[in-house]
Chains A and B, each alone.
Chain A
Amino acid sequence: MEICDFALHRPASLAEACEMGRMLGPGARFLAGGTELLPDLKQRRDVTRHLVDLRSVPGLRDIRLDSSYLHIGCLATLSEVAESSDVHKTLPALSEAILSMAAYQIRNRGTLGGNFCGGVPSADTPPICIAAGAQVRLAGVDGERTLPAEQFFLGPRKTVLDPGELLAEVLIPVQPARSGSSYQRFALRRATALAVVGVAARVALEKGRITQARVAMSAVAPVPMLAAECSGILEGQSPVEEVFERAAKAAALASRAISDLRGSAGYRRDLVRVLTLRALREAAARAGTRPA
């Protein structure tokens, strides 16, 4: 259980961090909160010889709200995100998603950036961010790029990050008027257990119709995934049970669940249907109570 031997590097700027990451090659990893990284190092999942400590880079921990986006720096801890008044204002369901996951101790160290970059299919924050239309801003030696959050993930523990590239911040657009979000998660134990399935939904309403809807899921595909089919079924319709049912079935059909310790593929599909339904109901109810 001892951590492998490594050298620690402390870049002073984002550019230097990226440069170090690239120079040091595949044996290097970025250190943020460490709660995803340390288990890897202890289990020697891969050969890590260098850690580039991002905590010495200024500005990566900020959470701030401007007129179009809520910016969450990659080093903001999950607790900081969950407790942020800007998050409560913009996307309270993100706060709820965080409080539903992991131990308090882990949330106090683990970061939003880490929850994304770990690339764990059952991660809880990506679906709610994806449903909210979030983007990720990546910084690398050759500059920056921004892409929709759902495009960040490539497979289990695989992301689009190039060597030396890091996730600088998650950008959550200010949510449409009369919209609501919900994250529904099912785990075998109430505290600190991985999600068997997680479903996030965002619904925007206008004059009794759904104008926008996004559903995203975790633990039912190699990556946190957007159930694009759902949007087509929901948008333009009334927020009624029968419509939600159709969307929930479509989400279940779209899921690519596998069987593992926590549940069979079939059981997961059943859960996707149930949780999508619950998420849509709650999101719509919340949308209905939000001022136009």
Chain B
Amino acid sequence: MGEEILVSLKVNGQERALAVKPNTTLQDLVRWHLDLTGTKKGCEMGECGACTVLMDGRPVNSCMVLAVAASGSEVTTIEGLSVNGDLHPLQKAFVKHGALQCGFCTPGMILSAKALIDSKADPTEEDIRQVLGGNLCRCAAYPRIVKAILSWKEFEGVPLDTRPHTPEERDQERDHAVVGHGVTRYDGPDKVSGRARYTSDIRLPGMIFGKILCSPHAHALIRSIDTTGAKKLPGVLAVITGADVPETRYGVSPARYDEHVLAKERVRYVGDEVAAVAAVDVETAERALRLIQVEYEVLPAVFDAEEALKPGAPLIHPEDPRYAGNVNTRVEWNFGDVDKGFAEADLVREERFVGSRTYQAPIEPHASLARWEHHGPKLTLWSATQTPHYLQQMVARTLDIPVGSIRVIKPAVGGGFGVKAETTPLDLCAVILARMTGRPVMMKYSRREMFYHFRGRHKQIMDLKIGLKRDGSITAVQSRIVLDGGAYTSYGVITAYYAGSMIPTLYKIPHYKYDGLRMYTNLPACGAFRGHGVPQPRFAFESLLDMMAEDLGLDPFDVRIRNAMTPGTRTCNALDISSCEFGATLERAREASGWAQKKGRLPRGKGIGVGCGGFVSGAGYPIYRSDFPHSNAMLRVHESGQAVTLHIAAADIGQGSDTVLPQIAAEELGIPYDRVWMAACDSTLSPVDLGSYSSRVTLMGGNAVKMAATDVKNKLLRVAGRRLGCDPAALTCRDGRIFVKEHPSVGIDWAEVAAAAFSEGGPVVGTGSYRPPTTLGGDFKGGTVGTSPAYSFSTFVCEVSVDLETGFVTVDRCVDFSDAGTVVNPVTFHGQVEGGVIMGIGETLLEDVVHRADGTIANPNLHDYLIPSIRETPEIISVAVESFEPRGPFGAKEIGEGCLVPILGAIANAVYDACGVRVKELPITPEKILKGLQLQAAGRVAARVEG
């Protein structure tokens, strides 16, 4: 059965004849047989569009086409679009407009667009939305994708360059040559051409494939595992179970390492890892998993955080008395005297809000590839990770390998949003299996396995109480939050603290009490997701603030402005707010949105709402205690003097740090951006950086890079000073020249000086390192969480339409005013904001991972778990309100996470304005709204008084 069949087809203009098995997909044919890895594997079920190729000119999902069915066709992959190395105008348009972030969906997106322009050279925006609906982009670069396609003709016959494209992308003029300019992404050309290699695109000689067997039970004891059948299957090279992995537990927070590489005796959720197999191909590995026989003793399970708290609930971690009552983390914070604060209030209101379990759903699945080097003690691990350093540490610690023997390489990463910020069983099993077999082992999750591995947003049940004076001033806030953490800790300790710590950063709150309780349940573990712990409490806060403003007859903006944070404030929970233009974001958003004309004045079914947010610019303290600087950079000037290489292990996962960091280097060095090379993110090449989490890279990595550049610059200025016969202090660099500040015409070529410096003294290298101020945070338990050198602030206003007969919500248009300090790159900055807005729309209106009564997931795929498509994209106006952050490089701070935080509350408020229905439980589905409308019609709930 399944004899190989000859398939003849034309791929990118070349005739090909290949013998393949009938069950080979066109996707595997192009990826594995032809090594055209620009065709991505995102879901393998025809749901994401990342594998789109053109078949006889029409886009198809190559995962949904059998190779044999493509016989006789003409197939175009992304690699076929550029001719003689010159990018197709569409590809150039994507690069120039910043129409990509992580780049994983980009090849498919461009091919769909190619088919469109081939049939209609001047497509309308509606055409684009119609044709690209099946190409999901989790970074949500949709607005820029539309722009790029609309303008593709402008790029015909134009060479690609890296200079800023559209001047209007610049927010304000500062006297910088590179910083503040929308230079093109460093990784743009590779990502639009399919050349960028992600972990699962890598092929090594002798490489084999691993898969993990997961528990079908939510809670059970493992009685026995029989791997005999699996081991006997031809093609299987190794099978491991809990008995073969170390006793050492791993995790994220050192205080709560609670996971074994593979379950030892107990499984705690459907999906818990039980055994792993390495085999010659994925098909064999999957077959072997089905031959492993596990005998379970099924135990009662608990799936609800509040149920887990009740006496008699099944104990999920009975092995550790710290987790008695299933409490994973308990936070008890009391700042000031809330009783006093509430007594001073004219209005006190308490409401319960409930969040949902949402999943990051990056389009690139998790993948790891491990190889032991030189038949010996050294290990190379390629991983789709946001945090290469923590991965290196965790692998070393868990598997007892000296850290110095581990090399971690982060290839291109197709989106993370937090889900790739921790060590996975893939990483650990790949290392173990590679050691056992002596072969490189590639492991990857399927889309379904990603949902079960999870580490998405915690569902938070929030009882929030606010006290307001008649004029809207906040007198006190009390928050009690129960977080459903799932079966393991992951980032959850930090999540539980973040859920409380960030509330006092936007508004001045004199008295604040927070009780957080993170519960274990028999569900997949929750972790860190963009805005870590903050979006749901912020949704609750912004909703309740609006409800109370209405009670008091106040305008929602007035209430926010009255309490708005100001620069140089120490919050009640001892966080130091440095730069802050929050007030300005409020004033400008109010003006630009036409609030005065619209609020309460739109026809029924239309509404406007405001929400605010913000986030840390990097966590003030690392995840595990260490003394080393958080970000470190080296710059090496090439011998020619014509280029420099920046070595920094910051992890670009699509957010654009590989663009922003060389910009900062170029600015400080005084050379054009395109003279900076980025060294690969490889622990043997670059010094430690803690990675991409807590929105830390622009500020922390940027500071390290700037310092390294200053170091180089000072060396060059000394050489130049000798050459020009002047004091180095009188010199400066810009645009590739070193010159006398007072007499710019007196100068010398930068490269010439750099080459001379090398000739004189050998390699010209600069180093820089950054550590946050050590004084951050209060002296109380958990006082470190929420600390940061700087905070972002934003105000978001959106207009929605509600279909009063179905409850369907459309977000029509919105404005976002964000204070992220100096904007280093306006294109990537606005791309982050737009992406955050759209992700926020998904989280508010669509997304919820649903579990059945047995703990299985009802929607573990992109077909049933709906994330926003290009057709959910509203008109977004994003404006930077630039403060100057003294602790940031050139005044910069974060944007990537804060931009998502205000969206949920703003949409909830807009829906209420549109139809008078207040939904306090996420997601705000049409069904919930319709139910509210029906109650309203029945007179059981007062309809909103029309303004």
Contacts and interface: CB of A to CB of B under 8 A. Distances in A.
Interface of A: 1-8, 31, 34-35, 38-39, 41-42, 49, 51, 53, 55, 79, 99, 102-106, 108-109, 186, 188-194, 261, 263-264, 267, 270-271, 274
B806 interface: yes
Interface string B54-71: 010011110111101100
A4 B60 contact: no
Nearest to B445: A1
A188 B866 contact: yes
Nearest to B928: A267
Q: Which residue of B58, B132, B846 has the most chain A CB atoms within 10 A of its CB atom?
A: B58
B112 A6 contact: no
12 contacts: A3-B25, A4-B23, A5-B21, A8-B22, A34-B65, A38-B66, A103-B46, A106-B61, A109-B61, A191-B129, A191-B869, A267-B930
B303 to A, nearest CB: 16
B25 A104 contact: no
Contact of A79 (B58, B129, B925): B58
B926 A188 contact: yes
Contact of B65 (A41, A102, A109, A274): A109
Contacts of A31: 66, 69
Contact of B131 (A42, A104, A267, A270): A104
Given A38-B46, A103-B46, A188-B925, A109 B64 contact: yes
A188 B846 contact: yes
Contacts of B133: 103-104, 190-192
Interface in B907-947: 925-927, 930-931
Nearest to A193: B866
Contacts of A186: 806, 808
B872 A105 contact: no
B846 A108 contact: no
Contacts of A191: 129, 133-134, 869-872
Contacts of B64: 34-35, 38-39, 105-106, 109
A190 B866 CA distance: 10
Nearest to B444: A1
B209 to A, nearest CB: 10
Contact of B44 (A42, A53, A263, A270): A42
Contacts of B45: 1, 39, 42
Contacts of A274: 805-806
B35 interface: no
Residue of B23, B61, B447, B872 most packed against chain A (CB within 10 A) = B23
Interface stretch (B367-375, B396-404, B427-435, B857-865): B857-865
Nearest to A110: B64
A108 B59 contact: yes
Contacts, number: 138
Contacts of A109: 60-61, 64-65
B134 A261 contact: no
Given A6-B1, A192-B134, A192-B869, A105 B59 contact: yes
A106 B46 contact: yes
Contacts of A79: 58
Contacts of A188: 846, 866, 925-926
A109 B46 CA distance: 11
Contacts of B44: 1, 42
B65 A2 contact: no
A189 B130 contact: no
B779 interface: no
B872 A108 contact: no
Contact of A105 (B60, B446, B863, B864): B60
Q: When A and B form their complex, which 7 residue pairs have the shortest distance between CB atoms, in order from nearest?
A: A103-B134, A191-B133, A190-B871, A191-B869, A3-B23, A8-B22, A2-B283
A121 to B, nearest CB: 15
B134 A7 contact: no
Most B Cβ at <10 Å: residue of A3, A4, A31: A3
Contacts of B312: none
B556 interface: no
B858 A7 contact: no
A102 B869 contact: no
Interface string B784-817: 0000000000000000000001101000000000
Contact of B858 (A194, A261, A263): A261
Contacts of B132: 104
Contacts of B63: 38
Interface in B64-121: 64-66, 68-69, 112
B852 to A, nearest CB: 10
Interface string B868-900: 111110000000000000000000000000000
Contacts of A108: 55, 58-60
B58 A103 contact: no
A190 B926 CA distance: 13
A103 B46 CA distance: 9
B2 interface: yes
A263 B927 contact: yes
B61 A189 contact: no
A1 B129 CA distance: 29
Contacts of A7: 1-3, 22
B850 interface: yes
A4 B129 CA distance: 35
Nearest to B925: A188
Given A105-B64, A189-B872, 4 more contacts: A1-B45, A2-B282, A108-B59, A261-B859
A8 B282 CA distance: 21
B607 interface: no
